[in-house]
Structure formats: C-alpha cells, structure tokens
Structure 1
Amino acid sequence: MTATSFSTFKELHEGSTPLLLPNAWDAASAILFERDGASAVATSSASLAWALGYADGGTLPREELLAAVRRIMRVIKVPLSVDIEDGYSDDADAVADLVADLQHYGVAGINLEDGGGTPELLVAKIKAIRSKLAGAGFFINARTDVYLRGLASGDAAIQMAIGRAQAYQAAGASAAFLPGLCDAETISAIAQALDIPVNIMAVPGMPEISQLFAAGCRRFSLGPVPFQLAYHHAREGVHPFLHQGQTASLFKHELSYPSMNAALNVDG
C-alpha cells in the first residue's frame, strides 16, 4: 500500500461531504463502482464469501480472501477497504499477520469486528496490528455489534457502544463502525464522545444520509445489498428462460460486453 492510498482514504472521512462507500465482491463489481464515481471501494465479507462459494461467518479460507483482494487491487485505482470479519481468528498475532499481508497488497484499510467476542479481544487484535505495522499508516475501522446483535437497548446501548468504541479508539482504531444504528440523536451522542469518525451501514427505512451526516456520521456503506441486488436481477432475468423458454427479459438491462471488457482490460 502506498502512503498516498491510506492518506487519501483517511481524508475521505474528514471532508465536508460524507464518504459513500459501495461494497464490492470481486474485481468486476469493484471496477464498475469505481467507474461510476466511487472515491473508494470496500468489500463485504458476506458478498465476497458468497461469490466464492462459502457461507458468511468466518468460513472463507484465508488464501481465498487474499486471492480475491489481489484481483480487485489489480483493476482499481481508488483506495480499497477489506472486511475481514473478526480477523478469522481469536489469535491476535494471526490477525495481525493477515492484515500485514493485506497492507502489502496495497489495501488502505480494514473492517474488524467484535461480533460475538469480547471487547478485550478486539482491543488485543487492534494493538497487535498496530505493533505489526510498526507505525505504517493503515485504516482500522473497528466494528461493534451492540446494535446489530441487540446487545442492549436505550441508554444502556448508547453507553455500551461508547465504551467499546472508546476502548477501540485507545487501542489504535481509526474509526468506529456501528451497523444496525440509524437514529440521528444516538449517532450524535456517540460521535460527540469519540475523537474518531463514526460510520454506519444502510438499512431499510433509515433517514436521509444528509441528516445523519449532520448528526455526526462520516461514512456510509451498503454491506451485502449490492450483491443481493445484482443476483436478484440475475435470477429474475433467468427465471423466464428456465420456466417458459423466453429470452426477452435477459436483454432489457444489458451491461454491454464491450464496456465490461474494456473496464477489465487493465493490462491491454
């Protein structure tokens, strides 16, 4: 990773407009998002695992992840953040080794979650990563699942989220990710308690991004939704072919062969 890639990615969290971060699952989706104007791209752990034939939830082999990341890095120029779930290990040093490999391939940052583990374990992983990288710039987006897993509610959830995020910040996290949260007042309370950017994942029925940005959320991502959208449309298009022998629906929203081929002809 170049220092410029990390610096660019970090600055995107500090601007006067929100960072809108689409989640890709392979080189093709990543280059399409970049060409459509994305200033950075992230992976979704679920989408990437599904695309490679694995269930989400820590089952993706390390080498499969790294190979997929290399393919994405080969075609895009904007910064890439990689979702590594809980680091695929409870061993903090093993997680740090994985992150060092990702940094070597040019990745600007990661998502790293507490999930079902303890906050202390994520603190240990963040510290191990910072020690392994020896001061090199790298963006660690520390995810807490307080809201996604419903670990608490009301004021108790706010205090739990703040406590965890502050611990991750002290360990070396660059940002705090709170999927499942979309309430402006709660976002404001958490953002004011931290010195690092807050970010969330889009959910159905959430307020306008402009409102949540004003409340203190700096970054918005989509999780597995782009993958689900793409594969929903693929299934809907193929269904009439399989069941009625019809092909008309396949060509209504065609992404042209020349444009797709040109986008991926990075070595030509």
Structure 2
Amino acid sequence: MSDHTTHQSPENMVTPLNCAKALRFADMHKHGPFILANVWDAGTARLMAALGAKALATSSAAHAFTLGRPDGGRLRREEAIAHAVEINGATALPVNADLENGFGDSLEDVALTVQNSIEQGLAGCGIEDIQFPTQNPYAFEDAVERIEAAVAAKRSATKANDVQFTLTARADGVMIGSYDLDEAVRRIKAFARAGADVIYVPMPASFEDLAVIVKSVDVPVNALCAGPFTQYSVADYAKIGVARISLGSALARAVHKTIFDAAQQMFDGAEFSALSNGIPGGTIDELLAKGGTGLKK
C-alpha cells in the first residue's frame, strides 16, 4: 500500500529540546532495560510521564483504535507521524514512532518515512518487515534492502540536521506465524549488519526464544511485554540482556477491557458499579500538569 501523497519534507522541527531528547533516548539503550511506554494521545503521554516513564512510543494499533480502525496497515504516513509529533510535544520525554512498514513497498517509501520522522523531531522509529494489506513478510533480500534504505536515510538526515536518531528494525513474521525463529534470527542478524540501532522480534514462542534472539545480535534488543511475557519482571528481562521493554498496544487494550466490562454491566445488566473505580478528576488534573513539566512555555 504505497503512499505517494506526501513527498515534500514537512516543516523542520529539530529543536534543541528534540535534539536533547533524541540523544538521551539513544543513550538509554546502553543502560537498559528501560520501559518504553506506548501511548495514544497527549493525555496518556502526560499521565505516563507523571507516573515515571522515561521514554514514550506510539502504537499503530492503539492509534488505529482511536480512529475507529482495526490494526494493520490502516494508517497513512502523514497521520502516523503527525500523531507521534503531537505526543512528542506533550512532554519532555523522547518519543519513538511505530511506523509499520514505512507506509509503502518501495525503498523510497521507507526512506521518506525515516527522513520525515527525523525532520519532525522524533527520537526514533520502528520499521517492520511485513507487507500490507496481505500481512505477508517481505522476502529476505527485500526486507534487508528496506532496512539498508532506512539506515541510509537516517544517516543522511541526521547528518543534515545534526541530531541522533534510533532506528529499530522489526522481524514480525514469528508473531504472525509466517516464519520461524531461525528465519527471524537470520533476518535480525542481517538487519544489524545493515546498521539498525535496535532489533525487535515481537512475541517469540517463549522467554527462552527471546534469550536466543538477544544473544544472536550485538545491538540492543527490544522485547514486547504483552500476553505471556507480562509474567516476567524488569529484572528477568535484564538477566537475559534485553535493552528495552515496550508495551505495544497492551496498555491500550487494558483500557479497552475496562470500557468493555463497564459497558457490558451497564447495557446488559443495567448496573453501574464498575464506574465506581475511576481515578478522581483532581488526581488526573495534577498528573496532567506534572507530565507536561520541562516543556518551554
């Protein structure tokens, strides 16, 4: 699904604050693991910042949910980056953008997505090896070429803008059942050789497989904490060498579960007790104010 509607670079937003965020984000990967909190609007960004998050990320699924769309290739480049920019402007924390497959099949598409992300002041982004709308993985050679194009675009744009940027290469085929662990390892080794800063294989079959993934490359590895992986602690991830723990859409789905349960009680049972567990409005106001500290007025 190629997006050729925006080939002009957006207004440059590489400000001193955004440069500092990107530098801090890159450095965090050397001292992990840290939690990368995936949020979906300025409000959740500020709540996470106030509650202790050190870095934020978008989630393509969570973003799609806010637009009434299902996950998987339903976002456009310009709206995904604008969404990340809005979140980036809400707090003093660095933001990593979930940019799916770069919004197109061509090398130009991937390069443009990375270039725009840097020029818009984001600290990093992730690029998947999955085609949309089929959700089939790109052939090995094509997947590697796409990361090579992303790395080339990163190097050119960071040099031009004198800024750091953290590029994450994702091997999503294990998660969707399109290839096995051996193929994932083959891909991430090639992605690392191509110059990716971080490697990410979402939802391997086990924690032991995650350990294999970490040991297979000499660059930082992101782990997705969702489903069965929520039973492990930060210390557990640290023991196997994970650098970054992201939440994906898990936090958004937890919020949606609360909405689902309350709605079922109201509309099926004509009861409202589920609404009694809400956080006080005053507390939310305080957290929102706290989460916005560190921004220039």
> TM-score, with normalisation over the residues of structure 1?
0.87
Task: State the 4+ residue runs in structure 1 displaced beyond 6 angstroms.
Answer: none
The worse-fitting range, judged by mean Cα deviation, of 142-151 and 100-109 is: 142-151
2:262 maps to which of 230, 237, 246: 237
Partner residue of 2:174? 147
Partner residue of 2:197? 174
Q: Distance in 2 between matches of 1:86 and 1:96?
A: 11
Partner residue of 1:44? 59
1:53 aligns with 2:78: no
Gaps of 5+ in 2: 1-13, 131-136, 159-163
Q: Distance in 2 between matches of 1:239 and 1:146?
A: 35
Task: Give, in angstroms, the shift of residue 247 of structure 1.
Answer: 4.1
Partner residue of 1:256? 281
Aligned pair count reads: 263
The worse-fitting range, judged by mean Cα deviation, of 254-263 and 196-205 is: 254-263
Task: Give, in angstroms, the shift of residue 205 of structure 1.
Answer: 2.9
Task: Give, in angstroms, the shift of residue 105 of structure 1.
Answer: 2.0
1:129 aligns with 2:165: no
What one-letter code is carried by the residue in structure 1 that aligns with 2:90? V
Partner residue of 1:8? 24
Q: Distance in 2 between matches of 1:150 and 1:238?
A: 33
Relative to structure 1, the CA distance from residue 97 to residue 249 in structure 2 (aligned partners, 3 Å threshold; closer, same or farther) is same
Deviations 1:43-96 (A, max 9, x none): 111111111222211111223223322221221111101111111100111222
Partner residue of 2:209? 186
Identical pairs, percent: 27
RMSD over aligned CA atoms reads 2.5
> 1 or 2 for the larger relative contact order (CA 8 Å, sep ≥6)?
2
Task: Give, in angstroms, the shift of residue 232 of structure 1.
Answer: 1.5
Alignment of 1:96-135 (within 5 A): 96-115=111-130, 116-133=137-154, 134=156
What one-letter code is carried by the residue in structure 1 that aligns with 2:92? K
What one-letter code is carried by the residue in structure 2 that aligns with 1:138? F
Relative to structure 1, the CA distance from residue 160 to residue 251 in structure 2 (aligned partners, 3 Å threshold; closer, same or farther) is same
1:161 maps to which of 181, 184, 205: 184
2:218 maps to which of 180, 188, 195: 195
Relative to structure 1, the CA distance from residue 261 to residue 60 in structure 2 (aligned partners, 3 Å threshold; closer, same or farther) is farther
Relative to structure 1, the CA distance from residue 260 to residue 126 in structure 2 (aligned partners, 3 Å threshold; closer, same or farther) is farther
Partner residue of 2:232? 208
The answer to whether the 8 Å contact 1:113/1:145 transfers is: yes
Q: Distance in 1 between matches of 2:287 and 2:232?
A: 35
Q: Distance in 2 between matches of 1:182 and 1:200?
A: 12
The answer to whether the 8 Å contact 2:61/2:249 transfers is: yes
Task: Give, in angstroms, the shift of residue 244 of structure 1.
Answer: 5.2
Q: Distance in 1 between matches of 2:19 and 2:272?
A: 49
The answer to whether the 8 Å contact 1:187/1:212 transfers is: no
Find the residue that maps to 2:96 and give its secondary structure: strand
> TM-score, with normalisation over the residues of structure 2?
0.79
What one-letter code is carried by the residue in structure 1 that aligns with 2:172? D
Find the residue that maps to 1:220 and give its secondary structure: strand
Relative to structure 1, the CA distance from residue 152 to residue 89 in structure 2 (aligned partners, 3 Å threshold; closer, same or farther) is closer
